[in-house]
């Protein structure tokens, strides 16, 4: 049996949480491998709704959850999230959750610098969540980050805080923002250490053992390919690599361990925050998609921008993300619409192209080229087999498969975990 990596194939918020939760019933362990608490996964289980940001979604299934070294971890946010889900009845202990000892920590100063820089950008702001994810990744690559393992060494914490404050307080003063005192930060970290360290270990070693035992590993991505810091709509991207290749480096396993790559895409397109969005609809149709799909960011609460399905963008994500199969979500939101549109490419300066360009000016200038598709009158909501779908809905799905050059492996027809049509089990070799 293969392992599976799940990544977003659009701009995030595609419904990865539900798909990972559904797949977790077939897995032994679920691993988060990149991102921070700027990503949110919503899981609906009976009358309970779980909103997760850092915790792996498999915890809801009672599976072992691992936060890999590729994740930047805000200790306060993580402990608050653990307390919240425990209040909902979930069990989260060092027996069910492990954190990589070499994972970078997010400190309060990271959020402060994040928000100060966004404010200084004014109208040119990127649209970050202001939670310090980007600055924490900057410290990681600059080799001054505080990592989870450092919590066990007070002298290391003290020395690293000196270097961090030299850098960040200089920037904060330049931006006219409040600076930080070392002792307050050090006291906070020392108080957090005994609460977090029981979860911390070299997870690469545990994953190697699980892999050798033939256990099924599910790698859970955050954000999506078009928010990848290299391959997305730069600079309106996240601060990590979101493609499936990162599952290996962000968890501490070899590339061959990643297995089947499942990309998640909505049956239409959404985006939170700033940046190019060629198929965006600002009319009544766009508002209707937002209302029907309950399109609000899980973490920020911001309304998502909505538009037609962009096959050219998803095809690009399939190629650079290594996607082998697609999970198509929220098909039911399109029920009853007479005509649907699919973007098949773009026009930029009078030239037809089949991908989003890398240059910001060209991205902003890209205009969608549409193909109209007949909608359907019947309902797809709650369908659990192809036989329960209207014929035109099946044609819509098949046309998407052709345009994105990847098969639809799973089809989600409501937020409920069992309202899913499985064409192929991703864990099957």
Residue numbers annotated as active site: 13, 41
CB atoms within 10 A of CB 406: 23
Q: What residues contact residue 119 under an 8 Å CB cut-off, 6+ apart?
A: 125, 175
> How many Å apart are CA 365 and CA 361, to the nearest integer?
6
CA distance 363 to 42: 30
Give the separation between CA 110 and CA 76, rounded to whole angstroms: 13
Residue 211: both structure tokens together: 């892999």
Task: State the Cα–Cα distance between residues 27 and 6, nearest whole angstrom.
Answer: 13
In this structure, are residues 109 and 180 in contact, taking their beta carbons and an 8 Å threshold? yes
Q: How far, CA to CA in Å, does 399 sit from each of 11, 59, 113, 306, 374? A: 21, 35, 45, 20, 11
CA distance 77 to 81: 6
Look at the alpha carbons of 329, 419, 21, 395 in this order and tell me if their dihedral is positive or negative.
negative
Cβ atoms of 69 and 103 closer than 8 Å: yes
Structure tokens at 220: 């859970």
Radius of gyration of the chain (CA): 22
User: Which DSSP category does 12 fall into?
Assistant: S
Token pair of 376 as six digits: 């359907």
The residue to which tokens 């029907």 are assigned: 292
Neighbouring residues of 296: CB distance < 8 A, sequence distance ≥ 6: 302, 303, 304
Between the alpha carbon of residue 191 and those of residues 43, 50, 71, 154, 197, the distances in Å are 32, 28, 22, 11, 11
């Amino acid at each position: 049996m293969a392992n599976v990596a799940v990544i977003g194939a659009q701009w995030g918020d595609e419904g990865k949480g539900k798909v990972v939760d559904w797949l977790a019933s077939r897995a032994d362990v679920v691993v988060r491998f990149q991102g921070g608490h700027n990503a949110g996964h919503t899981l609906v289980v009976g009358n309970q709704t779980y909103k997760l940001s850092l915790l792996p979604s498999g915890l809801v299934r009672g599976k072992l959850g691992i936060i890999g070294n590729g994740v930047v971890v805000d200790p306060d946010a993580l402990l608050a999230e653990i307390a919240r889900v425990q209040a909902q009845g979930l069990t989260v202990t060092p027996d069910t959750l492990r954190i990589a000892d070499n994972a970078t920590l997010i400190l309060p100063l990271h959020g402060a610098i994040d928000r100060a820089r966004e404010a200084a950008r004014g109208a040119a702001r990127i649209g970050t969540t202001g939670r310090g994810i980007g600055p924490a990744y900057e410290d990681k690559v600059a080799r001054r980050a505080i990592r989870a393992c450092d919590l066990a060494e007070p002298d290391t914490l003290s020395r690293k805080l000196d270097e961090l404050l030299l850098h960040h307080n200089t920037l904060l003063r330049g931006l006219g923002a409040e600076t930080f005192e070392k002792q307050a930060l050090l006291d906070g970290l020392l108080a957090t250490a005994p609460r977090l360290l029981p979860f911390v270990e070299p997870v690469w070693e545990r994953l190697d053992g699980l892999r050798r035992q033939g256990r099924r590993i599910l790698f859970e991505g955050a954000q999506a390919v078009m928010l990848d810091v290299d391959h997305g709509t730069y600079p309106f991207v996240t601060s990590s690599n979101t493609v499936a290749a990162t599952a290996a480096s962000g968890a501490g396993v070899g590339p061959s361990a990643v297995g089947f790559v499942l990309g998640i895409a909505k049956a239409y397109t959404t985006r939170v925050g700033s940046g190019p969005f060629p198929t965006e609809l600002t009319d009544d149709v766009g508002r209707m998609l937002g209302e029907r799909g309950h399109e609000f960011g899980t973490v920020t609460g911001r309304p998502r921008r909505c538009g037609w399905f962009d096959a050219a963008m998803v095809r690009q994500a399939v190629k650079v993300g290594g996607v082998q199969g697609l999970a198509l979500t929220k098909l039911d939101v399109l029920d009853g619409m007479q005509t649907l549109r699919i973007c098949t490419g773009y026009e930029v300066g009078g030239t037809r192209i089949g991908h989003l360009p890398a240059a910001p000016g060209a991205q902003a200038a890209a205009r969608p080229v549409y193909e109209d598709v007949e909608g359907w009158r019947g309902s797809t909501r709650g369908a659990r087999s192809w036989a329960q779908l209207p014929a035109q809905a099946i044609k819509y799905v098949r046309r998407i498969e052709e345009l994105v050059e990847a098969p639809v492996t799973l089809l989600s027809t409501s937020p409920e975990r069992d309202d899913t049509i499985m064409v192929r089990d991703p864990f099957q070799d």
